[in-house]
């Protein structure tokens, strides 16, 4: 059995929505140089809908694939729906990840939340701080 699904390989080799967005409504950056994965997510919001999103990721193939898939899953969605994106949804959309790479999907979830939080902060929108608690628990990052 292959270590990575065809979808993971496709999103790694042909990532969607890569790049910087100068006019982003919200920007979130998560990760840790110690674990080697850093994700920066950009969202453009119009009338409560994420009309565009981009990402820049420094990291492994799984980090790139999960960033790419996360942007695909939130584009065109209401911002509140994007906020509900879970790392498990990203993993399922990619047809799975090796256990030791699940932390990449957690980073993707956190990058989306960080971008939404930045959007809320910039626009004075109140939010439940509990929804934005980071859960990344990469063993490498704790070293």
Reduce the DSSP state of residue 55 to 3 states and report it. Answer: strand
Sheet holding 26-32, edge to edge: 26-32, 37-46, 49-58
Query: What's the token pair of residue 119?
Result: 């959007």
Is position 104 annotated as part of the catalytic site?
A: yes
**53 tagged catalytic:** no
Q: What is the pLDDT of residues 71-98, one digit of tens each?
A: 999 999 999 999 999 999 999 999 999 9
Which residues lie below 8 Å from residue 65, measured CB to CB, with a gap of 6+?
Answer: 4, 7, 8, 9, 11, 12, 15, 94, 104
pLDDT at 139 over 90: no
What's the pLDDT score for residue 39?
96
% pLDDT > 70, the chain: 90
| SS3 category, 35 | coil
Look at the block and give the residue holding tokens 């960080």. Answer: 114
What is the predicted pLDDT for the residue at 136? Answer: 54
DSSP structural state of residue 126: -
H/E element holding 72?
helix 61-74
Q: Across residues 96-117, what is the average pLDDT?
A: 95
Q: What's the average model confidence in pLDDT over 27-37?
A: 86
pLDDT tens column, 44-60: 999 999 999 999 999 99
Using CA atoms, how far apart are residues 119 and 36, in angstroms rounded to an integer? 26
Give the pLDDT score at 33.
73
Kind of pairing between the strands at 49-58 and 26-32:
unpaired
Question: Could you say which of 35, 53, 60, 138 is catalytic?
Answer: 35
User: Pairing relation of β-strands 37-46 and 26-32?
Assistant: antiparallel
Single out the catalytic residue among 53, 60, 104, 141: 104
Q: For residue 140, what pLDDT is reported?
A: 45
């Amino acid at each position: 059995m292959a270590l990575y699904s065809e979808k993971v390989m496709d999103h790694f080799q042909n990532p969607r929505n890569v790049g910087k967005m100068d006019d982003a409504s919200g920007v979130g950056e998560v990760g840790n140089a110690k674990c080697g994965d850093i994700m920066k997510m950009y969202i453009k919001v119009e009338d409560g809908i994420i009309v565009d999103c981009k990402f820049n990721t420094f990291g492994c193939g799984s980090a790139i694939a999960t960033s790419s898939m996360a942007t695909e899953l939130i584009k065109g969605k209401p911002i509140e729906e994007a906020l509900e994106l879970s790392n498990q949804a990203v993993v399922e959309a990619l047809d799975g990840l090796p256990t030791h790479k699940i932390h990449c999907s957690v980073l993707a979830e956190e990058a989306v939340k960080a971008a939404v939080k930045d959007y809320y902060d910039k626009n004075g929108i109140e939010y439940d701080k509990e929804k934005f608690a980071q859960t990344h628990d990469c063993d490498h990052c704790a070293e």
